[in-house]
Amino acid sequence: MAVELLTQADGYGIIIGLSVLFCLIILAAVRIQKRYLSEDSDQSEMFMVANRTLGTGLTASAVVSSWMWINESVFSAAYTYKWGIALPVWWASGLSFQIALMAVLGIVAKLRVPYAHTSLEFMRMRYGNYAHWLFILLNLINNIFGCGAMILAGAQLVTGMTGMHVIAACILIPAGVVIYTAVGGLKATFLTDFVHTTVALILLIYFSLSFSSSVNSGLVMPYVLRSLLGRGATAGLLVLIFMAITSTVSSSMIAVSSIISLDFFRTYIDPHASDRKTLKVSHLGVVFHGCFMAGFAIMLEYAGATNNWSTYFRPVIACPGIFPTIFTLLWSRQTKLAAILAPILGLSSGLATWLALSWYWSGGVLGIQTTQAQIPGLYGAIVSFFSPAIYSIAISLAWPSRFDRREFLRIDLIEDKSQQNSSLTSALPSKEAIGAKSGNKSTNEADYKNLTRGDEAAPTHTALPTKPHSQVPLDDVVHPFDEETIKHINKWFKIASVFFVVNVLITIILWPMPLYRDWIFSQSFFGGWVVVAVIWHFLAMFAVVVYPIYDGRLEISRAARGVVRSGGVEGRHDGCCVWSRQISPMLWNGTCN
């Protein structure tokens, strides 16, 4: 930018100040959850999967926040100016379709792999170590490039608005996220997602303006905000940028730390690691990922990678594993060979398409500038996405085999050995459960088969494990959910499936297709379009801002009563001691009991 809209002090103040504020909020939330809601982030199940007890409203808010990537939000505004109103329609349709699909897959995973912590766990359970390592690599590549592109986009925006050095922004942006994520885990990520979504939707009501400056770079300049709404509006946009980055970066940190602790450390280094040791590795994973991503974003900056390049390159390397993962959950006939070869062949095909078209259309030159064109990136992503499905089906049909999905039930919870009693149920039977099994079939078998067609369902019991997973016969592995729970999950599977079909029909066919003609919007039609968009915006605010508060009203009330009842010098002193222990265990001097 030729003119700085804010000072460097504004940039440093907002980034550092908001980082400290988030850390204090999360530390307070962690303390309150542990003391009054029995939610201890010092246990790995709570840290990595939030004890699988997140409410509907908070989950919806986190999904919206996770989809609000800063680089893609910037591009949607920039390319709307460049391509017209069709761009946000297709952008929104594509994102809505993905959320609807993931809802279906999430419900299927909840029933078939109820205690999995990562998708990689059931990949290893079904296909073995080679496939496990392959998908670890694919997941890490996806997280690294996605997170790095977000940090770089945010750093470049902050630099353009404030004159702050881009390297300082690349380091400071993930630094604060590391602290509160390492302390609070997944629940902290969801809480910050809620705050981000709330602020973002409020600001976007006023700040949804696009203009022509630097459209080709994908960075929507906030000069109009400054000229129309003043300096405060520009500062608000900077807050929005920071919160959008931290929200998705924290999710990436939890994902990578879970891969490091569960899929690497607990699988290959110390299979019998305690809950405490697993949690420690998770914390180290968060710190390592944050430091690595800061360095990776700096590398992209000095390599000359633009937002265009990262936006078109990332789908090429992120898409090959999608269909094999979906088939792992939904198709019992995908073979081990297909699961391993399909993503490799798909990635090779996508990269070859992307590079070949870039080379051809640029006159035989390959580089950062020539590989950031839109069409080669589009075709490369399409090939990377769809070709693995073709490869997988062809290989599976050529060398067929069938998988018994009851194997998935061998994946169990991580027990906290320090706790004498546990309320967690296991998929592995006790002796009494095994003895009671003979001659009885659970009445929920039909419901379970609805989602595991072709496999024999096992009876439902809830008991603690008495043998290692591999030593329990498959016929004795039992589903951990009771009959009513399975019926409830099946009901929501049907609802999600119907919603997915309706979503595709409306957002991809019935709504945009009739507009595919030479008709020009009239003023009244466009006015109606804008009114519907504004109404939709407020409905979204109700769904992901107001409803989460209503959904968690009982927990909020219980926590508030607990804080009020325990208020006083002793309670505040004890809370500060706990926070200091969480922030810096090495500096803790043990003066508080």
152-183 pLDDT, tens digit per residue, is 888 888 887 788 888 998 898 888 778 777 76
In the predicted structure, residue 502 carries a pLDDT above the cut 90: yes
Please give the C-alpha separations between residue 514 and each of 93, 193, 315, 525, in angstroms, as whole numbers.
Answer: 15, 36, 29, 14
User: Which residues, in sequence order, are bridge partners of residue 150?
Assistant: none
Higher pLDDT, 378 or 411: 378
Query: What kind and span of H or E run contains 210?
Result: none
Contact 410, 469 (CB under 8 A): yes
On whether residue 54 sits in a domain, the answer given is: yes
pLDDT at 243: 75
How many residues can be counted in the chain?
593
Contact 321, 388 (CB under 8 A): yes
pLDDT at 63: 82
Q: Which candidate, 186, 34, 21, 26, places its Cα nearest to that of 559? A: 34
Q: Domain limits at 258?
A: 8-305
Alpha-carbon distance of 231 to 55, in angstroms, equals 38
Q: pLDDT tens, 54-92? A: 678 888 887 887 777 776 666 676 677 777 788 888 888
Question: Average pLDDT of 557-570?
Answer: 71
Q: pLDDT tens, 215-266? A: 444 444 455 555 545 556 667 677 777 777 777 787 788 888 888 888 888 8
On whether residue 534 sits in a domain, the answer given is: no
Query: What kind and span of H or E run contains 489?
Result: helix 483-504
7-11, 309-313, 356-360, 581-585, range with the lowest pLDDT: 581-585
Q: pLDDT tens, 550-563? A: 888 887 888 888 88
On whether residue 516 sits in a domain, the answer given is: no
pLDDT at 222: 52
User: Which residues, in sequence order, are bridge partners of residue 293?
Assistant: none
Question: Average pLDDT of 10-32?
Answer: 80
With bands split at pLDDT 50, 70 and 90, how would you rate the model's confidence at 436? Answer: very low
Percent helix, percent strand, percent coil in the chain, to nearest 5: 75, 0, 25
**What is residue 552's DSSP assignment?**
T
pLDDT at 435: 37
Backbone angle region of 364, left / alpha / beta, with phi > 0 → left and psi within -120 to 50 → alpha: left
Alpha-carbon distance of 325 to 139, in angstroms, equals 11
Last residue of a domain, one of 263, 279, 305: 305
Give burial (CB, 10 Å; 0-12/13-18/19+) of 498.
Answer: exposed
On whether residue 387 sits in a domain, the answer given is: no
pLDDT at 201: 78
In the predicted structure, residue 429 carries a pLDDT above the cut 50: no
CA 549 to chain centre: 21
What share of the chain has pLDDT > 70, as a percent?
73
- The neighbour count for residue 205, using CB atoms within 10 Å, is 12
DSSP string, 151-164: HHHHHHHHHHHH--
pLDDT at 57: 81
* Chain mean pLDDT for the chain: 76
On whether residue 357 sits in a domain, the answer given is: no
**What is residue 426's DSSP assignment?**
B
On whether residue 314 sits in a domain, the answer given is: no
Count of domains in the chain?
Answer: 2
Q: Which candidate, 496, 510, 512, places its Cα nearest to that of 101? A: 496
pLDDT at 83: 77
Alpha-carbon distance of 350 to 286, in angstroms, equals 31
pLDDT at 212: 41
Q: pLDDT tens, 138-155? A: 999 988 988 888 888 888
Give burial (CB, 10 Å; 0-12/13-18/19+) of 330.
Answer: middle
pLDDT at 5: 66
Last residue of a domain, one of 256, 277, 305: 305
Q: pLDDT tens, 454-489? A: 443 334 333 444 455 556 677 777 788 888 989 999
Alpha-carbon distance of 456 to 232, in angstroms, equals 62
Q: Which of 155-159, 205-209, 437-441, 458-462 has the highest mean pLDDT?
A: 155-159
Contact 242, 15 (CB under 8 A): yes
In the predicted structure, residue 568 carries a pLDDT above the cut 50: no
In the predicted structure, residue 511 carries a pLDDT above the cut 90: no
pLDDT at 30: 74
Question: Average pLDDT of 321-326?
Answer: 93
Contact 169, 301 (CB under 8 A): no
Alpha-carbon distance of 517 to 507, in angstroms, equals 17
Give burial (CB, 10 Å; 0-12/13-18/19+) of 557.
Answer: exposed
CA dihedral 220, 222, 225, 231 (to 10 degrees): 160
Last residue of a domain, one of 289, 305, 321: 305
Give burial (CB, 10 Å; 0-12/13-18/19+) of 432.
Answer: exposed
On whether residue 396 sits in a domain, the answer given is: no
On whether residue 210 sits in a domain, the answer given is: yes
| Residue 38, helix vs strand vs coil | coil
